[in-house]
Amino acid sequence: MRVQYLGTSAAEGIPACFCNCAFCREAKRRGYIRTRSQVLLGGELSIDYPPDAFAHAMRFGADLSAIRYLFVTHAHMDHFYAQDLILRGYKYAHEITEKELHIFGNEEVLEVYAEGTAREMRPEIGSAIKLHKIGAFEEITFDEWKVWTLPAKHSSREPLLFLFEKAGKRVLHLTDTGGLTEEAVRFLSSVGGPACDLVTLDCTFLYGTTEKTARHMGLDEDARTMEKLSRIGLLDGHTVRVITHFSHNSAPGEELLARAEREYGVIAAYDGMTLDI
């Protein structure tokens, strides 16, 4: 399975769009850019759809019309920018690769979709977008995919995390979230099966200390999460561990991320990074 990390920043981007701190000024000077989070699995399944999806298509050649399935973690703007979807057809887009797009999200995601597309959605575009309401602790199957949903610890309504499986490959996606709840760990344990081929971990705080009530993770919580996953058999020596969703507040420059890779045995994602698992 090919995995593409198209965007790897938190909501405000890097450099942050309205920020003039020393880190952002230097990032602007150097052209050090990270866009909002989006991950493609196998070219057909997108985890989240940010305002920067257009830039991802232009910079990395991603065919947004080839996305058949969109799984949305939560309704915050940087993870679900529904307004773009009014352009998926009609005179705005010809020769679309996949006629239908299936969007999977919680009730708030579906509300945001309705709000964002209410004024400009054309019937011939909207009819090809299929909405699926999902919640935590579900098992969803379609085509060759199987997906398990679990609750995130975040500041939106019923945010979700996902375990994806296709053709014997497993990807566990853990952003935006604080540390896994005991309920979530028990659910993953009940799913069982082989260890994941890839685990993606929220690392918004990087080397900052993570509080128990936090809605994001840093390396300290990432380490605790990896230990929990190892205990229940979902992470082993072959599992690729990727950190992403970086914030300018943590000054995630190249040297600091290289240090994190050495100390924690992870890969720090960057915009456009591609892995084959």
Q: What is the mean pLDDT of the chain?
A: 97
Integer Cα distance of 223 and 220 in angstroms? 5
DSSP-assigned beta bridge partners for residue 163? 148, 172
| Residue 35: predicted pLDDT | 98
**Claim: this prediction has a pTM higher than 0.95:** yes
Task: Please check the confidence at residue 55 and state whether its pLDDT lies above 90.
Answer: yes
Q: What is the DSSP string of the chain?
A: -EEEEEE-B-TTTBTTTT--SHHHHHHHHHT--B-B-EEEETTTEEE-B-TTHHHHHHHH---GGG--EEE-S--STTTB-GGGGGGSSGGG--S-S-S-EEEEE-HHHHHHHHHHHTTT--HHHHTTEEEEE--SS-EEEETTEEEEEEE--SSSSS-EEEEEEETTEEEEEE-S-SSPPHHHHHHHHHH--SPPSEEEEE-TTBTSPPPTT-SS-BHHHHHHHHHHHHHTTS--TT-EEEEE-B-GGG---HHHHHHHHHHH--EE--TTEEEE-
| Domain extent for 150 | 2-270
Nearest to 208, CA basis, from 151, 160, 253, 249: 249
User: What's the average model confidence in pLDDT over 213-235?
Assistant: 96
pLDDT classification of 113: cutoffs 50, 70, 90 = very high
Please report, for the domain that includes residue 88, its CATH number. 3.60.15.10
Model confidence band, residue 219 (pLDDT cutoffs 50, 70, 90)? very high
Instruction: Count CB atoms within 10 A of the CB of residue 139.
Output: 10
- Is residue 101 scored above 90 in pLDDT? yes
pLDDT value for 118: 98
Where residue 99 falls among pLDDT bands split at 50, 70, 90? Answer: very high
Average pLDDT for 37-43: 98
For residue 213, pLDDT over 90 is answered with no
The answer to whether residue 148 sits within a structural domain is yes
Residue 212 pLDDT greater than 90, yes or no: no
Q: Does 150 have pLDDT greater than 90? A: yes
Is pLDDT at 191 greater than 90 in this prediction? yes
Number of domains in the chain: 1
In a domain, 276, yes or no: no
